[in-house]
Structure 1
Amino acid sequence: MRATKRLSSQFVRSAPVGKHCDGAGLWLVKRDDGGAQWVLRVTVHGRRREMGLGGFPNLSLAGARKQAEHWRSVAADGRDPVKEREAERRAVQRADISLAVLTADAFEARKAELKGDGTAGRWLSPLNIHVLPKLGKVPVTDLDQRDIRDTLAPIWHTKADTARKALNRLSIVMRHAAALGLDVDMQATEKAKALLGKTRHVPKNIPAMAWADVPAFYASLEEPTLTHLALRLLILTGMRSNPLRNIRLDQIEGDVWTVPADAMKGRKGATDAFRVPLSLEARRIIEMARPHARNGFLFPNTRKGVISDMTLSRHMERRGLAARPHGFRTSLRTWLAEATDAPHEVAEAMLAHVVDGGIVRAYRRTDFLEQRSKLADRWADLATGGAGQVVNLAGKGC
């Protein structure tokens, strides 16, 4: 048996710089700055583990020996003392297992999967607004389907999409809690959905402008203001408002605008940046907007950041139009279906939609940029008052 208790209290108080063994893996490490640390070395499953026990004199020689004895017994049972101590610390931190605490923990774990690390706060919004004010203090282990039903019932039929998102987020939080070892009802959200029944809410599509009316509207955007220029580029590219409003000069190279993957929405399963072909007209609009650029952004706000989505929407509202900026994506997609022979996957790629499964995409390593460039040119031709002829992707336009 290894010798133990080699050190004395008197020696520990005046120990020179260096490592001093008390026996059975317990060491006193004296530093140059005069401080000292207790360290325990044990072997678990053939692997040496080293853990700090505390500093001297806050942890006395007797205290260090007591801790070392405890952790040696843990190692003797075949358990890693470092992991065991970490688990104990997590258990203490989880003493508060309220829904609010577990929601924050689940969000933190998922941040890397969310656009911009979830800084926009949209992932949490349905819970923060409609669930946590009522259930935030309830321990997740006590949460059942009746609690969830009673909380979401007021918005189940009036704000169906928000309620659905809240239910989905709750399900994620419950799975996160279960993964932490908490005894939660994994079926609580599904049972709550059954109790709530089928929603009466009928979703409404965003109003879109008929593609035949786009040229007249495009021509009306004749002023070189940021609003007019942004709307023109929005129409020409078919992109969503967010990446368009946040377009940066360093994302544009020649006739291609490369949108970072984390700025794209609705491309689940896609991890690459998205290339947007720029027609001659789109490049002309970009050049007109360049004098407005600030801090690298092509469409900056007057104070900071970029122009808001409401700026574009309100412009169309003031014009008495039912259509909204996002609706131009529908205009483009309808034109592609009615006036071109673009294959489905190419037409969907024009709107940055992800089609087919991951295996198919893995083998089809193309973003159809060349075909989309031709379509973008014809769409720009139509928008600027040209014929926007039927496009034959197999040959020349007819």
Structure 2
Amino acid sequence: MEAALKLNAKAIPNLPAGRHGDGHGLYLMVQKRGTRSWTQVVRVGGRRLDLGLGAYPDVTLKEARRLATNNRALAKGGFDPRHGTGGALTFAEANDEYLRWKRFPPPVANNRLSNQRYRWDYTMRKHVLPRIGTVAVAEVTVGQAAAIASAMIDTPSAAKFALSCIERVCQWAIDSGQREMANPASGPKRQIDVPPPTHARFLPAEELAGELAKLDASGCSEAVKLAVRFTALTAKRLCEVRRATWTEIDLEARTWTIPGRPNAKIKEDHVEPLSDAAMQVLHRALELPRSHGVVFTNPSSGDGVMPDSTIRRAMQRAGVAMSPHGFRSTFRTWAQERGENWEAAEISLSHRVGGSVVASYARSDMLEMRRVLMERYACALGMWQPDSRGPCW
């Protein structure tokens, strides 16, 4: 049972010098010269914190108890309750506390989860915090949340994401005792209709060579041309091709081992067989300048990895009528129409085949079957002639 509160509002003006406890770590400090101020002692992770809650009578006993309750809720959740607003948590401060509680990592290159953090930070900095950053999180209203969404109505998905950020921060504030009112973003969020996602544009396999010829005739760098061609031949994600290093390539075994990453779509290593046409691309890439061991290098970048935007802009300027991700759709459609082995095609796309039970029994990676599949696909693209044993480009 919680200890009874000891101080009485009427008796406070007559208290002698000293420290007078009210319970729950809240104290009224009375100086010999008669000044009075509120302090509170809390522990966060075993560490003692002494908090100043303001001077009496500017901060009344009732207000001091309210601030102390909020601070205890934060400390119980493992957060440092010290803030520059005298204990009233602003939305910006609540956002920081929520990210710490969620253990959302800061933005890091080549990390899907950190890219989500980048989008979160950008949305907060650009659209949310300028409007409600200094508002107490307990006082954020439905109208303020709706106004933020209205200013972004030309991009419904971005507006809905902004409201989702506000909703999650305010829900944390409610759960931690920093807010009593209902969540202000839930209602406006339900009112936004986001158009269904559009799939990446793709072309039939027989038309792909003509589109890549446009890129070859353009003025983009040789590294970009080879990276795009390698992406088309392997049907891999552009991010995997951009980050490919020579340590992942086995030229003798003619394989590319794509390392799994905890926060990526591929969480386990994936071995990709390389067709003759793909090997020809790699042999040409050996002649490119080396930087950090990256296959399709960009010497001007700090880590040697070619930016995603560099490749996409080059394709757009050359008039290529599809996106890099569309190469995967081209491959899967070709395999489907030809009646190729379904599992081999899915594994070639680095997709998980079946559920966990199926995966526990089906252990083969179908490497050699996929090697034959990718050879046939390279011929279908018009990038390799098996009779001449040479590329068609």
| Normalised TM-score (structure 2) | 0.64
Other-structure match for 1:229: 226
Is the Cα contact below 8 Å between 1:260 and 1:272 reproduced in 2? yes
Is the Cα contact below 8 Å between 1:102 and 1:177 reproduced in 2? yes
Q: CA deviation at 1:143?
A: 2.8
Is the Cα contact below 8 Å between 1:116 and 1:262 reproduced in 2? no
Q: CA deviation at 1:133?
A: 2.3
Note the residue ranges of structure 2 that are not aligned, 5 or more in a row.
Answer: 1-45, 50-73, 387-393
Quote the Cα distance in structure 1 between the aligned partners of 2:322 and 2:248. Answer: 29
Residue 270 (structure 2) pairs with residue 271 (structure 1): no
Indicate the larger mover: 123-132 or 256-265: 256-265
Q: CA deviation at 1:52?
A: 8.5
1:170-208 Cα shifts (integer Å, max 9, x gaps) = 3443444455453366754332223x2434x46443332
Other-structure match for 2:280: 284
Look up the equivalent residue of 2:186 and give its one-letter code: E
The structure richer in helix per residue is 1
Q: CA deviation at 1:226?
A: 0.6
Quote the Cα distance in structure 1 between the aligned partners of 2:355 and 2:90. Answer: 38
Residue 146 (structure 2) pairs with residue 152 (structure 1): no
Residue 236 (structure 2) pairs with residue 239 (structure 1): yes
Other-structure match for 2:136: 139
Residue 101 (structure 2) pairs with residue 104 (structure 1): no
Quote the Cα distance in structure 1 between the aligned partners of 2:169 and 2:354. Answer: 29
Quote the Cα distance in structure 1 between the aligned partners of 2:259 and 2:369. Answer: 21
Other-structure match for 2:341: 342
Other-structure match for 2:56: none
1:87-132 Cα shifts (integer Å, max 9, x gaps) = 7972235946333233334344122898266168234333332222
**Change beyond 3 A, Cα 1:315–1:340:** farther
- Percent identity reads 25
Residue 377 (structure 2) pairs with residue 379 (structure 1): yes
Which of 186, 191, 196 in structure 1 is aligned with 2:187?
A: 191
Is the Cα contact below 8 Å between 1:221 and 1:232 reproduced in 2? no
| Normalised TM-score (structure 1) | 0.63
Other-structure match for 2:165: 169
Is the Cα contact below 8 Å between 2:215 and 2:315 reproduced in 1? no
1:57-79 Cα shifts (integer Å, max 9, x gaps) = xxxxxxxxxxxxxxxxxxxxxxx
Quote the Cα distance in structure 2 between the aligned partners of 1:256 and 1:381. Answer: 19
Look up the equivalent residue of 2:270 and give its one-letter code: F
Quote the Cα distance in structure 2 between the aligned partners of 1:89 and 1:283. Answer: 54
Aligned length in residues: 304
Quote the Cα distance in structure 1 between the aligned partners of 2:207 and 2:94. Answer: 51
1:127-151 Cα shifts (integer Å, max 9, x gaps) = 3322222222233322343332221
**Change beyond 3 A, Cα 1:327–1:142:** same
**Change beyond 3 A, Cα 1:215–1:178:** same
Other-structure match for 2:300: 303
1:257-291 Cα shifts (integer Å, max 9, x gaps) = 233333875x3xx6323333322321221221123
**Change beyond 3 A, Cα 1:176–1:220:** same
Is the Cα contact below 8 Å between 2:258 and 2:270 reproduced in 1? yes
**Change beyond 3 A, Cα 1:222–1:321:** closer
Is the Cα contact below 8 Å between 1:207 and 1:323 reproduced in 2? yes
Output aligned runs, 1:1-398, within 5 Å: 90-92=80-82, 95=87, 97-108=89-100, 109-111=103-105, 115=111, 118=114, 121-156=118-153, 158-178=154-174, 180-183=176-179, 187-194=183-190, 196-199=191-194, 201=195, 203-218=197-212, 225-253=222-250, 254-262=253-261, 265=264, 267=265, 271-292=267-288, 293-304=290-301, 305-343=304-342, 345-354=343-352, 361=359, 364-365=362-363, 367-385=365-383
